[in-house]
Structure 1
Amino acid sequence: MLMRTVLVAVLCVCVGVSTKDRSCYWRAECQETLFATRTPYDTVRGDIRDWPLLAGCEAISMWALVRHGNRNPGDKETINMRELQARIKDDIIEHFDYEMGSSQLCAQDIENFRKWNWNTTMDTSPSYLTGIGYQEIYALGSRIRQKYPQLLESQLGVYVRPTYKQRTVTSAMAFLQAFNEGNELNLTADEFRQQDDVLRPYDNCPLYKDEVKNGQLLNDQLEAFFKTTEYLHVQKSATDRLGLSQTLSVEEIFTLYELCRFHRTWSPQHKSPWCAAFSSSDLLVLEYRDDVRHYYKNAYGSPINAKLGYPVLKNLYESLELAKQGQGKSIVTYFAHDTLLGMVYSALGLYKDGETITAQYRNPNRNWRTSHLAPFSANIMAYLNRCNDGSYKVQIFNNEKPTLLCPLEGCTWDQFASIFQPFTEANLDFCKLKGMPKVPGSAADFRSLTGLLFLTLSIMIL
């Protein structure tokens, strides 16, 4: 049985300074930093440099799967956010009167709304990596380089490949810059693939699209979440806090949350005025929506998801096996998306709760919490160590923290193989729908690498 890492979340209880029953977000003693899949990496990560090296052993190869860094909201999110803020910002300001107004905010929160302006860069670069995201990935590469300098000195070489999305291509650039800086390596990433069964297997799986992504179960769970007592309470309290005369719809509440968390995660020091709409407990409820969505769309909500995590784990095993034989690479790193990370977690049995995650019940002590599992720049790293006695040990880290899968003291090669070798039989044959020929994955938004690099260099947001 696979062992799973136990997450211990230390929650900061944010206490705002209240005057005349008004809550002041700007003066809160601390502010919620967990925003599900929009969580800043530095909020939850460990530090690979802090863990002791294996005595009598040396790392000879690293394999990593990394989610892209912090990004802009997507097309639909951007449109919804722009339209909502344009409609309610002035109302929020106008409904504030310290003595007679209906708003529950304090004067400084309102002043922050007055100063806040829509960032038009989001209109021209939806889903693009931000400057903060670039720094996240660059810093990750720098820490790996400091901890394991011998991997860059090895003759085995480095292999890096992103998906075709701008945010992963640019993340790969940031990662390699950390390796190239100050030396003459001049490492480059492999070209992305229009159809990638390793990094985007779900694009090439009609069964997944039909039964999971567009299936009724996912939709039913999300609809049920928006009808829960907790969410309806957030809907009312946020509307009241802002002093709006018309109740925000359940969809608008989540768009308001997007305004809060995207602006908030661009820098841990930022205090988005939109977060003033929510209490700390409200944000915990809103965080759960992403947990439910990813549970059913990417993870334990369907056995199909775990099967789609097999191909990349096959690659992990085969990469380290080649390195063990002296034929592989010293570093193999892939840049992908939170969808694949969820599939990998479920394939490995990690962070699985004893009971099914459902929209109707939010367990505050659950293992499945995307803020910790799938923040921006989330990663799984496996290190192959060669020991002086001729044996090999493997360590596996998740977001630069040890896992019980292969802990700090390392798995023996046989232990590692017992977990990962079965994945070498993986393929996507199960994906074909009855009566349907196999079709390639969609690449409607496929862009040329030249265009991606030009836009990356010209748009470094914030």
Structure 2
Amino acid sequence: MALLLLSILVALVYSAFGASMNAVKPITPTLNVPKEIQLDWSEYSPYFPLDEYRDVPGGCEIDQVNILQRHGARFPTTGANTNIKAALAKLLAVRHYTDPQLDFLRNFTDDLGSNDLVPFGAAQSYDAGIEAFQRYTHLITEENIPFVRASGSERVIVSAMNWTQGFSAASFHKYNPKLSVILDESLNDTLDDNMCPDAGSSDPQTNLWQSTFAPPITLLLNEGAPDANLTDTDTSSLISMCPFETVFKEQRSPFCDLFAPMPGAFPGFAYGGDLDKYYGTGYGQALGPVQGVGYVNELLARLTNSPVQDETQTNHTLDSDPTTFPLNRTIYADFTHDNQMIAIYSAMGLFRQATPPDPTKPSPTRNWRASSLVPFSGRMVVERLKCGSTPSVRILVNQQVQPLEFCGGDKNGVCTVNAFVKSQAYARNNGNGDFEKCFA
């Protein structure tokens, strides 16, 4: 039902506004929250481009595009929502608030759902489809339209479908890509981190940071809500109400106003997300990067127009069939989750850190920020270029060109396809034995 409603949502928006325009315009609403605060929402931040899109260098032209995109904004997951409701129950049971900032709770109703995409997230995905069409129109013909896959969670499927609708609307329905493959998350799936049962978690690092930044904020909350007996975990859950309510209701949540004056609340919350990604499926997790190997090997197959070579997460049946894994398309779009995108970045060698993030002290100059790496509707775009007679590649993450130092990237972030393939030895070697450790 949610899938149908969100598909109808974007269709209605287009029919109401799009047909009267010379060019289809974005539909994602602007949230009444400063960008700097939204960027402190960690992986719950909405997508913002990190840079202006740069044209490819002179003498080069794009001949293939691979888009890897996170689903759009959603409700909290079931586990997160359970924690949120437990924290809210403590606050709402208080009879008298001594802090007037909490008075909004007297008439507060918690109506957050769980897991599903929200309309704001559907609009984000729709707009991403518009952008893809407008940027890469020259790659599209009626015989060669984007090939689209999605991991099997409903929010990912709906995001993919709204992307295809945005792409179609931008072409005034001349080109109508479909969601061609849905990868079952209980089976081999390169778009979900579900195949490494022995991988560790980020709990040691995130719990240490929570015990570092949250106590002063928890103290303020308990002083304002006598007898609530909130814990630091409750505090983190309540801070997350700011992004979740805001993207759901498309207006500033009162929880944003509650925490904005509290020193360190949003920056502390943001750093918790950074640590979660780094030590969850990123470089700080011994079996994190291996979970991205399958997708990297699929990418190499597309870039080189050759069969997939992988013994990790790929579905051999699907990847060996040209109907479900074609090698003759100019645009590929894959829809996934944030944790899987982090694993793929790490398998590939993007965003390497000179030193691991300290769970007790964030570096203000760090470039490992979840809001920049995997926001709602965040995306990695791998463009294959033809530079003269040389097949080349460049990678953009949330529109920022990556330096690709690991394959000899030049000042424009371009390296040859051959050099890129050679740089991906970890993936080509199936994780150097790490995948087997997932089942030790």
TM-score normalised by L of structure 2: 0.77
For residue 37 of structure 2, give the secondary structure of its aligned residue in structure 1: coil
Change (3 A) 1:252 1:422: closer
Of the three residues 184, 194, 203, the one matched with 2:194 is 203
Deviation digits for residues 138-193 of structure 1 (CA, Å, limit 9, x no counterpart): 11121121111022227444211111100110111011112222124332112312
- The size of the alignment, in residue pairs, is 378
Change (3 A) 1:384 1:363: same
Cα separation, 2, equivalents of 1:276 and 1:114: 16
Of the three residues 179, 197, 206, the one matched with 1:189 is 179
Of the three residues 222, 227, 233, the one matched with 2:206 is 222
Cα separation, 1, equivalents of 2:400 and 2:361: 29
| Residue in structure 2 matched with residue 452 of structure 1 by the alignment | none
The question of whether the paired residues in 1 share the 8 Å contact of 2:69 and 2:336 is answered with yes
1:177-326 to structure 2, matched below 5 A, reads 177-181=165-169, 182-194=172-184, 195-200=187-192, 202-208=193-199, 212-213=200-201, 218-228=202-212, 230-240=213-223, 242-266=224-248, 270-278=251-259, 279=262, 281-322=264-305
Cα separation, 1, equivalents of 2:327 and 2:229: 63
| Residue in structure 1 matched with residue 422 of structure 2 by the alignment | 418
Counterpart code for 1:103: D
For residue 225 of structure 1, give the secondary structure of its aligned residue in structure 2: helix
Cα separation, 2, equivalents of 1:113 and 1:219: 31
Change (3 A) 1:28 1:392: closer
Counterpart code for 2:61: E
Highest Rg: 1 or 2? 1
Q: Is 1:170 equivalent to 2:158 in the alignment?
A: yes
1:142-181 to structure 2, matched below 5 A, reads 142-153=130-141, 155-181=143-169
Cα separation, 2, equivalents of 1:334 and 1:221: 31
The question of whether the paired residues in 2 share the 8 Å contact of 1:199 and 1:340 is answered with yes
The question of whether the paired residues in 2 share the 8 Å contact of 1:61 and 1:151 is answered with yes
Of the three residues 428, 431, 434, the one matched with 2:435 is 431
1:382-393 to structure 2, matched below 5 A, reads 382-387=382-387, 389-393=388-392
For residue 133 of structure 2, give the secondary structure of its aligned residue in structure 1: helix
Cα separation, 2, equivalents of 1:281 and 1:433: 39
Cα separation, 1, equivalents of 2:50 and 2:124: 11
Cα separation, 2, equivalents of 1:433 and 1:30: 41
Counterpart code for 1:368: W
Q: Which has the larger displacement, 345-354 or 368-377? A: 345-354
Deviation digits for residues 421-454 of structure 1 (CA, Å, limit 9, x no counterpart): 6633326964345997xxxxxxxxxxxxxxxxxx
Deviation digits for residues 230-259 of structure 1 (CA, Å, limit 9, x no counterpart): 32122213333x343444112211221122
Deviation digits for residues 192-236 of structure 1 (CA, Å, limit 9, x no counterpart): 122134222x4222332xxx14xxxx33323323332x3212221
For residue 227 of structure 1, give the secondary structure of its aligned residue in structure 2: helix
For residue 180 of structure 2, give the secondary structure of its aligned residue in structure 1: coil
The question of whether the paired residues in 1 share the 8 Å contact of 2:87 and 2:230 is answered with no
Q: Is 1:78 equivalent to 2:81 in the alignment?
A: yes
The question of whether the paired residues in 2 share the 8 Å contact of 1:138 and 1:174 is answered with yes
For residue 91 of structure 1, give the secondary structure of its aligned residue in structure 2: coil
Identity %: 21
Gaps of 5+ in 1: 1-26, 96-101, 437-462
Counterpart code for 1:302: Q
The question of whether the paired residues in 1 share the 8 Å contact of 2:196 and 2:438 is answered with no
TM-score normalised by L of structure 1: 0.74
Of the three residues 40, 50, 73, the one matched with 2:46 is 40
Cα separation, 1, equivalents of 2:211 and 2:438: 36
Q: Which has the larger displacement, 294-303 or 353-362? A: 353-362
For residue 375 of structure 1, give the secondary structure of its aligned residue in structure 2: coil
For residue 264 of structure 2, give the secondary structure of its aligned residue in structure 1: helix
CA RMSD of aligned residues (A): 3.0
Counterpart code for 1:338: D
The question of whether the paired residues in 2 share the 8 Å contact of 1:156 and 1:327 is answered with no
Counterpart code for 2:57: L
Cα separation, 2, equivalents of 1:257 and 1:224: 18
| Residue in structure 2 matched with residue 5 of structure 1 by the alignment | none
Cα separation, 2, equivalents of 1:186 and 1:134: 18
Deviation digits for residues 404-433 of structure 1 (CA, Å, limit 9, x no counterpart): 125646323333333246633326964345
Cα separation, 2, equivalents of 1:275 and 1:90: 21
The question of whether the paired residues in 2 share the 8 Å contact of 1:39 and 1:265 is answered with no
The question of whether the paired residues in 1 share the 8 Å contact of 2:351 and 2:368 is answered with yes
Change (3 A) 1:432 1:317: closer
Change (3 A) 1:145 1:421: farther
The question of whether the paired residues in 1 share the 8 Å contact of 2:47 and 2:375 is answered with yes
The question of whether the paired residues in 2 share the 8 Å contact of 1:64 and 1:333 is answered with yes
